[in-house]
């Protein structure tokens, strides 16, 4: 687990994917039922960013062409994407800082 906190949990709203860079990787953070999940920010359809994508009921929607992914598993739920998103472990420390482990 990376020792460097990347963002505070308060900066991850309900309903929207928040983008950040972790060790050179583009990641989005999504909130689902209070839990914060981290996924690759690069949509597997046309390699565009999921930043700002809508998050609802544990599903993130790509803002470009509407592919949908399970926030917890990265599984594809709607075309046009065919391949899942990579997911990364997240830890929120006692002070609310979010640590993302990108291998």
CA–CA distance from 87 to each of 32, 67, 72, 95 (Å)? Answer: 14, 16, 7, 23
**Which one of 65, 72, 77, 84 is in contact with ligand FES (CB under 6 A)?**
65
**1 contacts: CB under 8 Å, gap ≥ 6:** 89, 91, 99, 101
Distance between CA atoms of residues 12 and 84, nearest Å: 22
Minimum distance between the CB of residue 94 and ligand FES, rounded to whole angstroms?
36
Tell whether residue 28 is a contact of ligand FES (CB under 6 A). no
Tell whether residue 64 is a contact of ligand FES (CB under 6 A). yes
Q: Which is nearer to ligand FES, 2 or 26 (CB)?
A: 26
Residues in the chain: 103
Piece of 12-20, 24-32, 40-48, 89-97 that binds ligand FES (CB under 6 A): 40-48
Residues at the contact surface with ligand FES, assessed by CB under 6 A: 43, 45-46, 48, 62, 64-67, 80-81
């Amino acid at each position: 687990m990376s020792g460097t906190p990347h963002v505070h949990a308060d900066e991850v709203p309900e309903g929207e994917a928040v983008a950040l860079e972790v060790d050179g990787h583009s990641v989005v953070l999504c909130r689902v039922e209070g839990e914060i999940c981290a996924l690759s920010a690069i949509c597997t359809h046309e390699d565009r960013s999921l930043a700002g994508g809508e998050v609802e009921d544990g599903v993130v929607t790509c803002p470009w062409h509407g592919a949908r992914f399970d926030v917890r598993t990265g599984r594809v739920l709607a075309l046009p994407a065919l391949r899942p998103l990579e997911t990364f472990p997240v830890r929120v420390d006692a002070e609310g800082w979010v640590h993302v482990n990108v291998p």
